[in-house]
């Protein structure tokens, strides 16, 4: 057999093998995903579950380990193996690889759009039957948080680490420029331009990229929503080139031209705030520790609600991830994992978690605990951030939203770099996002 | 030669010796390559292969009609920008540095080490360092720009500057390797021929161009080939420094391949891109070897060359 024929035969065999694989059972797809009753936990049986998560550093890591240990002490037959990943991109790559290899973790932290892709691939365990046993747990959650757990009306996720966006700022810079803390985006533009002088750029932000969104993408999303149209409709339809979106991007481009906005990567807001070269860092509440660390003793950092619409309406967004369970786990693992997931959202656990990490409690009951009240007294931002969380929603959980956010990140980069007008950049992003939506449906 | 090769292959013991290497090669190189070829004919669901569908050449149609986001042709253009920058500037600068450092002295040995050092540093770590060097507000690069009286440049955030910035970093990382290869080549160049040229009245440039450079042709072929292939496949610096942006200004073919496969889960389309990249790389390598007169220098040929030259001189 000559070389050409050999290669052709090998390729044909590989195609045939893949075609057969395509027709046979794939990884993780099993009948469990359609089960209507939740498995019960045998308290005398030892079981180990794996949790693929991204709490790999600082207080996030130590606190998750601490509360997990507390859970294991209460449930001596359950072992929770924490598998920390350095960041969310790596986490997703690891989950994808594990699922592809038929070796999915029992549970993992997921964003809504990731979960939608896993649900489409039939590798996620629906949790509706599990939650039916304890409806008060679900009903006790903030409405926006609760809504973010469902994909096509099926409960697929359980909350874990929620946060809202807040504005961290340098009060001394505002005072020196004779400016008050802005409460609307119009006021913000005025203040930002006023403080941007002598090497200070008011708002350094990461606009994201084609690889995915970043903090600056969220800022754009909030401004677009404040102008009347969110970037994704509730059913996931992209609205990236709406009038509101174009106005929002023009707003940012105008700030850039005025020297009041600077793009960058690796959390440029907190770096510049700490170096006293930036006046604002608009980021999630979990940044409080990182911003505080960057600022140190240089000045007393201010924390205020993120600016809202011009009519005073507060617009915020639920950030953070939920936890999803994979259908390939055994019934014992599923039952144990569900117990752990419920433990994570108990008021006492949430209180401990929130105080150590800057995440916000996912249920209002937590705010009524005495130790949480003490914590809020020392950290008043928790009150307004929790109020925002109660009234906000997360990005809709559809697989194509991931692509759309990458398209949006690329559009923001292009327009802020002056390589395209906001209209052109957003129109192109919209077309790409619509294409991604059509491909996924 | 042919008889010897056939005779060796007939020996069962020889097969045993090559078997481990062959198995590793089959498992980790040939196998995945064939698998990638096959994936390119599917709309592949990597999370659940049971849901994958055979779509024939549709992924290739998407590639060649430029329907992907960003289009295949724009990624090819961006890749060529990077490859030409790396190959032309990298090769020329590497050769100049090698010529400057070829004379032996302790100081020059230390400088050689310094030039080579960046090449052995991890790409991820040094890319991150260069992200800070190119930081528009605090970066060293803008300190220099500012000192010369110019306005700050948004190195990685401006479409016009992002690729040059990545090129500067990549050249910094690669020049050591190119210089060392040329330095190795220069040690095989005949000193007597240069002396003879000087005696015949050749100036320094003529001596380099007509005597030294022709003898470096095999090394040049190696450098061009290695630089072309590694530049075409460059990924880490784009991943860390620009994420393919701003917009898609640094979205090379290699980077897009990763994006499509691992970020957007378009595995079949990514496999088609990989096949095209494979074919382009192979074609480019063959073309360069042909243009260089088929002279792919092996270590054996580099070792033999001085002996052949000595033999030529004694006859």
Domains and CATH numbers, chain A: 40-163+319-391 (3.40.190.10), 165-317+414-440 (3.40.190.10)
In this prediction, residues A57-86 reach a mean pLDDT of: 95
**Mean pLDDT of all residues in B3-17:** 67
- Backbone angles phi and psi of B140, in degrees to 5: -65, -40
- What's the mean per-residue pLDDT of chain A? 90
Q: In whole angstroms, how large is the CA radius of gyration of chain B?
A: 24
Token couple for A342: 């419920």
Buried b (16+ CB within 10 A) or exposed e, B222-252: bbbbbbbbbbbbbebbbbbbbbbbbbbbbbb
User: Nearest CA to A156 among A440, A399, A347?
Assistant: A399
Q: What is the CB neighbour count within 10 angstroms for residue B23?
A: 10
Q: Per the structure block, which two tokens stand in for A277?
A: 């070269």
> Which 3 state secondary structure label does DSSP give A52?
strand
Residue with tokens 């669901």: B45
Contact B48 A263 (CB under 8 A): no
Residue pLDDT, tens place only, A95-140: 999 999 999 999 999 999 999 999 999 999 999 999 998 888 888 9
Q: Cβ of B252 under 8 Å from any chain A Cβ?
A: no
Q: Please judge whether B69 and A435 are an interchain contact, meaning their C-beta atoms are less than 8 angstroms apart.
A: yes
Contact B38 A14 (CB under 8 A): yes
- Cα–Cα nearest to A252, from A30, A422, A103, A404: A422
Burial of residue B116 (number of CB atoms within 10 Å: 0-12, 13-18, 19+) = middle
SS3 B54: strand
In chain B, what residues touch A402 (CB-CB under 8 Å)? 263-264
Rounded Cα gap, residues B177 and B109, in angstroms = 15
State residue A213 phi and psi, 5-degree precision: -80, 165
| Residues B183-220 pLDDT 10s | 999 988 888 888 888 888 888 888 888 988 999 988 99
How far apart, in whole angstroms, are the C-alpha atoms of residue B217 and residue A66? 64
Domains of chain B (ranges, CATH numbers): 41-56+66-314 (1.10.3720.10)
Tokens of A319: 């950030």
- For B47, nearest residue in chain A (alpha carbons): A100
B260: DSSP letter: I
The residues in B 138-167 lying below 8 A from A, measured between CB atoms, are 138, 154, 156-159
Q: Give chain B positions within 8 Å (CB) of A20.
A: none
pLDDT tens across A291-323, in order? 999 999 999 999 999 999 999 999 999 999 999
Nearest CB to B50; choose among A24, A263, A417: A24
CA-CA-CA-CA torsion sign (B251, B252, B257, B258): negative
Q: Give B4's contacts (C-beta < 8 A, 6+ positions apart).
A: none
A187 touches A177 (CB < 8 A): no
Q: Is B25 on the interface with A (CB under 8 A)?
A: no
**Which pLDDT belongs to residue A8?**
45
A269-284: average pLDDT? 95
Q: Confirm if A91 and A53 have CB atoms less than 8 A apart.
A: yes
CA triple B108-B87-B93, angle to 5 deg: 25
Full DSSP string of B152-218: P--TTTSHHHHHHHHHHHHHHHHHHHHHHHHHHHHHTS-HHHHHHHHHTT--HHHHIIIIIHHHTHH
Q: Which residues pair with A80 in a beta bridge?
A: A49
Residues composing chain B: 315
Burial class (CB in 10 A: 0-12, 13-18, 19+), A46: exposed
Give the separation between CA A260 and CA B263, rounded to whole angstroms: 32
Least confident of A144-148, A238-242, B4-8, B162-166: B4-8
For chain B, first and last CA: distance in Å? 26
> In degrees rounded to 5, what are phi and psi of residue A379?
-130, 75
Measured between CB atoms, does A250 come within 8 Å of chain B?
Answer: no
* DSSP state at residue B137: T
Q: A266 in helix, strand or coil?
A: coil
Q: At residue B6, does pLDDT exceed 80?
A: no
Listed in sequence order, the residues at least 6 apart from A171 whose beta carbon sits closer than 8 Å to its beta carbon are: A181, A299, A300, A301, A302
Mean pLDDT for the stretch of residues A276-285: 95
Distance of CA B181 to the CA centre of its chain: 13
Which SS3 state, helix, strand or coil, does residue A82 take? strand
How far apart, in whole angstroms, are the C-alpha atoms of residue A138 and residue A148? 12
Whether the CB-CB separation of A114 and A95 falls below 8 Å is answered with yes
State the pLDDT at residue B292: 65
Model pLDDT, residue B8: 55
The sign of the torsion formed by the CA atoms of B166, B170, B175, B178 equals: negative
The DSSP 8-state label assigned to residue A304 in this structure reads E
Q: Is the pLDDT of residue A21 over 50?
A: no
Probe site for chain A from B36, B47, B235 (most A CB atoms < 10 A): B47
pLDDT score, position A20: 44
Tell me the average pLDDT across A195-220.
93
Predicted local confidence at residue B303, as pLDDT: 43
Going by DSSP bridges, is the β-strand pair B42-43/B53-54 parallel, antiparallel, or unpaired? antiparallel
The structure tokens listed for B256 are: 């897009």
pLDDT at B23: 94
ipTM topping 0.85: no
Q: Are A110 and A95 in contact (CB under 8 A)?
A: yes
Distance CA A164, CA A286 (A): 8
The partner residues of A155 in beta bridges, in order of sequence, read A150
Q: What is the pLDDT of residues B72-121, one digit of tens each?
A: 999 999 999 999 999 999 999 999 999 888 876 778 878 888 888 999 99
Residue B300 banded pLDDT, cuts 50, 70, 90: very low
The nearest alpha carbon in chain B to A11 belongs to B34
Average pLDDT taken over every residue of chain B: 85
The reported pTM is 0.82
Q: What is the dihedral of CA B124, B128, B134, B140, to 10 degrees?
A: -120
DSSP designation for B233: T
Contact status of B265 with chain A (Cβ, < 8 Å): yes
């Amino acid at each position: 057999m000559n070389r050409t024929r050999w290669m052709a035969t090998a390729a044909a065999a590989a195609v045939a093998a893949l075609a057969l694989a395509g027709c046979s059972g794939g990884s993780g797809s099993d009948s469990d995903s359609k089960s209507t009753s939740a498995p019960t936990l045998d308290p005398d049986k030892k079981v180990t579950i794996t949790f693929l998560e991204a709490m790999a550093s600082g207080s996030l890591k130590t606190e998750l380990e601490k509360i997990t240990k507390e859970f294991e002490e209460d449930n001596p037959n359950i072992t929770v193996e924490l598998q920390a990943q350095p960041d969310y991109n790596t986490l997703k790559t690891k989950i994808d690889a594990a699922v592809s290899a038929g070796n999915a973790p029992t549970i993992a932290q997921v964003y809504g759009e990731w979960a939608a892709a896993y649900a489409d691939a039939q590798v996620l365990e629906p949790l509706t039957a599990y939650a039916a046993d304890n409806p008060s747990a679900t009903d006790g959650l903030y409405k926006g948080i609760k809504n973010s757990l469902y994909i096509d009306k099926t409960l697929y996720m359980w909350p874990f680490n929620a946060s809202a966006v807040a504005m961290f700022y340098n009060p001394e810079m505002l005072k020196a420029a004779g400016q008050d803390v802005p409460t609307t985006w119009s006021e913000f533009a005025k203040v930002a331009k006023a403080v941007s002088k002598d090497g200070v750029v008011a708002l350094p932000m990461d606009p994201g990229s084609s690889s995915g969104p970043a903090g600056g993408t969220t800022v754009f999303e909030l401004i677009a929503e404040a102008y009347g149209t969110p970037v994704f409709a509730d059913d996931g339809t992209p609205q990236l080139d709406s009038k509101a979106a174009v106005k929002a991007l023009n707003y940012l481009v105008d700030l850039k031209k005025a020297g009041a906005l600077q793009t960058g990567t690796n959390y440029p807001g907190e770096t510049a705030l700490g170096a006293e070269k930036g006046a604002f860092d608009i980021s999630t509440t979990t940044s409080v520790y990182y911003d505080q660390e960057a600022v140190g003793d240089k000045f007393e950092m201010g924390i205020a609600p993120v600016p809202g619409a011009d009519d005073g309406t507060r617009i915020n967004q639920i950030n953070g991830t939920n936890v999803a369970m994979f259908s390939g786990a055994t019934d014992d693992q599923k039952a144990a994992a569900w117990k752990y997931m419920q433990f994570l959202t108990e008021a006492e656990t949430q209180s401990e978690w929130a105080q150590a990490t800057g995440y916000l409690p996912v249920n209002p009951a937590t705010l009524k605990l005495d130790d949480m009240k003490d914590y809020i007294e020392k950290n008043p931002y928790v009150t307004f951030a929790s109020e925002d969380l109660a009234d906000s929603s997360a990005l809709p959980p559809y697989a194509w939203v991931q692509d759309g956010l990458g398209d949006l990140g690329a559009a923001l980069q292009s327009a802020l770099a002056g390589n395209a007008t906001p209209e052109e950049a957003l129109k192109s992003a919209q077309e790409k996002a619509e294409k991604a939506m059509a491909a996924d449906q | 030669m042919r008889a010897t090769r056939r005779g060796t292959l007939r020996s069962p013991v020889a097969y045993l010796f090559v078997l481990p290497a062959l198995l590793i090669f089959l498992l980790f190189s040939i196998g995945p390559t064939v698998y990638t070829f096959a994936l390119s004919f599917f709309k592949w669901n990597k999370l659940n292969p049971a849901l994958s569908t055979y779509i024939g050449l549709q992924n290739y149609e998407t590639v060649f009609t430029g329907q992907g986001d960003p289009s295949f042709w724009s990624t090819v253009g961006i890749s060529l920008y990077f490859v030409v920058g790396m190959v032309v500037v990298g090769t020329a600068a590497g050769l100049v540095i090698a010529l400057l450092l070829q004379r032996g002295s302790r100081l020059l040995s230390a400088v050689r080490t310094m030039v080579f050092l960046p090449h052995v540093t991890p790409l991820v770590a040094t890319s991150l360092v260069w992200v800070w060097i190119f930081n528009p507000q605090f970066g060293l690069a803008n300190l220099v720009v500012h000192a010369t009286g110019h306005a700050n440049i948004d190195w990685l955030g401006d479409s016009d500057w992002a690729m040059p910035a990545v090129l500067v970093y990549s050249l910094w990382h690669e020049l050591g390797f190119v210089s060392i290869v040329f330095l190795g080549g220069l040690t095989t160049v005949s000193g007597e021929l240069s002396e003879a040229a000087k005696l015949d009245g050749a100036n320094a440039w003529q001596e380099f161009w007509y005597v030294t450079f022709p003898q470096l042709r095999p090394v040049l072929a190696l450098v061009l080939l290695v630089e072309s292939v590694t530049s075409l496949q460059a990924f880490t610096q784009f991943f860390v420094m620009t994420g393919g942006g701003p917009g898609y200004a640094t979205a090379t073919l290699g980077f897009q391949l990763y994006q499509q496969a691992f970020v957007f889960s378009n595995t079949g389309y990514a496999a088609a891109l990989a096949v095209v990249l494979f074919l382009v790389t192979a074609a480019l390598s063959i073309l360069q070897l042909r243009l260089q007169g088929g002279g792919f220098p092996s270590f054996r040929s580099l070792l033999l060359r001085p002996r052949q030259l000595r033999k030529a001189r004694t006859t």
